[in-house]
């Protein structure tokens, strides 16, 4: 019996849970070391006492009611309570079960309790991540539809502007609407990035443009007491980047700076070219530096050591997810750069981001006007898009440039039309996201019909989302919302004879619609 008692006592004393026994008078008759530690009492103080001797009035009353339920009803009771242990708020889960004698009569209560604070914290983060994912899915769906609408709005405004002389009373109105639509298009890209349906859209990027855009937005949204000052480097090198991601990096840093200031203060944003000659090999070479400094409260070394940890935040509950700087760190690393942080309590904070110089020296901008067409012949383009307004815009744009245009409202219709008319169709403009038969599925069927089919993909997402097969066979990509000039350039670049390459000149075709009506 002594060996058996020692064995079970060893098991109970080494459990991570607190275990105790109470009799019918609510007196504690046994308690393991873990329970004594959580109660902050020695075992001798606990044995023989009741809950009113151990806990404050509210907690003692709740515990007594649970014990009374177990004793009178003979059933288990589970509960969770929050308590303050020093400066740390803990969440404790407790399970009380009846202890019965040989006759089945309840003679006492066995209690098991353990700290579930960390578990609940992780569950809250998972719940928050699930909510963010749901919001992201919603945002992605809205952004996709909004992108289609913006394609139509931007395209029609751009086609209208040339017919209005600069002095015309409607010219300024149309120009303003066009500028607003361009800004709305940038917003949809952020929504697509938020939903993670917008993959990285690598391109030569000038950080000065990113800074100007973010500052313009912040100056309309943050407290006027917080001043924003910029020092933008002249002749700044381009970086190979996704502008939407860098926009998010700068926005997160500025929002954190604003919160650190909490009122009157200053945020300073600087850009410059830096040649790094010392340090590890990966950090040597030509870099563009983005610096964000604030006059806020600063950080202690302990806080600074954890700022890039996911879910770590010093903000009040509901005011921060703890993901901002973790995302900044991940994006910068994805761009093959690094980030340095300098901060002292009461002396503000400074972040320096270094991004490698792009090998492509020039940032390519969308053309405002097109050169005269150098095409010979009358090529036929099949426009495939489920949005009728976008199809009409593409048809008007291409017909205005002299192309013969056929149209289809979904992938299935496009494949059927191409099967009948493939000998006269020179190019397919194919939307990726469509009902009935998606652009991807339609593309594979078009390849089966003609392995040399020329296809330009159209999508609101980045070209990086395309498969290797699609990238290998496509002749162009236009990103929604596209402007008429961008569409025309993509189409004309798909024909070698336009760019002066040696190629057999196609015969002149007479454009007549197919026998079957097409939407």
Q: What is the pLDDT of residue 130?
A: 67
Query: Percent of the chain having pLDDT more than 90?
Result: 26
Tens-digit pLDDT profile for residues 265-290: 999 999 999 998 877 777 788 999 99
pTM of the model: 0.48
Q: What is the pLDDT of residue 357?
A: 92
Place of tokens 């020692």: 6
Buried (b) or exposed (e) across 293-324, using 16+ Cβ within 10 A? bbbbbbbeeeebeebeeeeebeeeeeebbbbb
207-362 has CATH 3.30.390.10 classification: no
Q: Which CATH architecture has domain 17-115?
A: 2-Layer Sandwich (3.30)
If phi > 0 it is left, if psi is from -120 to 50 it is alpha, else beta; for residue 235 that is: left
Q: What is the pLDDT of residue 321?
A: 47
Query: Percent of the chain having pLDDT more than 70?
Result: 80
Q: What is the pLDDT of residue 231?
A: 94
Q: 128-198: which CATH number, 3.10.20.740, 3.30.450.20, 1.10.3720.10, 1.10.287.130?
A: 1.10.287.130
Distance CA 42, CA 48 (A): 12
The gap from C-alpha 58 to its chain's centroid, in whole angstroms, comes to 44
Q: What is the pLDDT of residue 495?
A: 79
Structural domain boundaries of the chain? 17-115, 128-198, 207-362, 380-499
Q: What is the pLDDT of residue 304?
A: 81
CB count within 10 Å of CB 284 equals 12
Read off the tokens for 458.
């159209």
Q: What is the pLDDT of residue 400?
A: 85
Distance CA 268, CA 273 (A): 17
Tens-digit pLDDT profile for residues 438-469: 888 999 999 999 998 999 988 876 665 677 77
Q: What is the pLDDT of residue 260?
A: 87
3-state secondary structure of 280: coil
380-499 has CATH 3.90.1150.10 classification: no
Q: What is the pLDDT of residue 109?
A: 93
Place of tokens 């749901």: 134
Q: What share of the chain is helix, strand, coil (3-state, %, to 5)?
A: 45, 25, 35
Distance CA 194, CA 177 (A): 26
Q: What is the pLDDT of residue 511?
A: 53
HEC sequence for 162-188: HHCCCCCCCHHHHHHHHHHHHHHHHHH
pLDDT along the chain (519 residues), means of 10: 74 80 92 86 89 88 92 91 72 92 90 87 70 62 71 79 76 75 68 54 86 83 86 91 85 88 90 86 86 90 78 53 71 88 90 88 50 61 90 88 90 93 92 86 92 88 69 83 85 68 39 43
Q: What is the pLDDT of residue 322?
A: 47
């Amino acid at each position: 019996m002594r060996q058996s008692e020692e064995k079970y006592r060893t098991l109970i004393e080494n459990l991570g849970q607190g275990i105790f026994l109470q009799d019918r008078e609510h007196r504690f008759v046994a308690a393991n070391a873990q329970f004594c530690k959580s109660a902050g009492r020695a075992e001798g103080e606990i044995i023989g006492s009741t809950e009113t001797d151990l806990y404050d009035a509210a907690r003692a009353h709740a515990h007594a009611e649970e014990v009374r339920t177990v004793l009178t009803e003979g059933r288990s009771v589970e509960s969770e309570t929050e308590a303050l242990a020093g400066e740390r708020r803990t969440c404790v889960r407790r399970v009380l079960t009846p202890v019965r004698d040989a006759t089945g009569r309840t003679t006492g209560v066995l209690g098991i309790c353990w700290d579930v604070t960390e578990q609940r914290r992780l569950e809250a983060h998972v719940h928050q991540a699930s909510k963010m994912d749901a919001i992201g899915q919603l945002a992605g769906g809205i952004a996709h539809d909004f992108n289609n609408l913006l394609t139509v709005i931007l395209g029609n405004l751009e086609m209208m502007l040339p017919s209005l002389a600069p002095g015309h009373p409607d010219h300024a109105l149309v120009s303003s609407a066009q500028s607003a639509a361009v800004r709305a298009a940038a917003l949809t890209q952020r929504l697509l990035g938020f939903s993670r349906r917008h993959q990285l859209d690598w391109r030569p990027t000038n950080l000065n443009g990113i800074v100007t855009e973010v500052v313009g937005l912040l100056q309309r949204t943050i407290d006027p007491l917080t001043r924003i000052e910029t020092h933008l480097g002249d002749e700044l090198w381009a970086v190979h980047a996704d502008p939407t991601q860098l926009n998010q990096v700068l926005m997160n840093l500025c929002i954190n700076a604003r919160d650190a200031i909490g009122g009157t203060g200053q945020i300073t944003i600087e850009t410059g070219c830096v040649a790094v000659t010392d340090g590890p090999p990966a950090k040597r070479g030509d870099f563009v530096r983005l610096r964000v400094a604030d006059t806020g409260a600063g950080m202690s070394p302990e806080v600074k050591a954890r700022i890039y940890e996911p879910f770590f935040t010093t903000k009040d509950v509901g005011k921060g997810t703890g993901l901002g700087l973790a995302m900044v760190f991940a994006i910068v690393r994805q761009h093959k750069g690094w980030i340095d942080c300098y901060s002292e309590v009461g002396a503000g904070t400074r972040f320096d981001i270094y991004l490698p110089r792009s090998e492509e020296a020039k940032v390519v901008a969308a053309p405002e006007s097109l050169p005269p067409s150098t095409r010979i012949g009358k090529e036929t383009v099949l426009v495939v898009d489920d949005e009728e307004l976008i199809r009409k815009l593409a048809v008007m744009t291409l017909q205005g440039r002299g192309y013969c245009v056929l149209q289809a409202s979904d992938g299935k219709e496009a494949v059927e039309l191409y099967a009948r008319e493939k000998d006269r169709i020179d190019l397919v403009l194919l939307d990726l996201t469509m009902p009935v038969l998606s652009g991807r599925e339609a593309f594979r069927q078009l390849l089966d019909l003609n392995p040399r089919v020329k296809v330009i993909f159209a999508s609101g997402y980045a070209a990086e989302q395309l498969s290797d097969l699609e990238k290998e066979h496509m002749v162009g990509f236009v990103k929604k919302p596209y402007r008429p000039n961008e569409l025309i350039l993509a189409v004309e670049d798909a024909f070698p004879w336009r760019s002066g390459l040696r190629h057999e000149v196609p015969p002149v075709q007479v454009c007549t619609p197919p026998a079957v009506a097409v939407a």
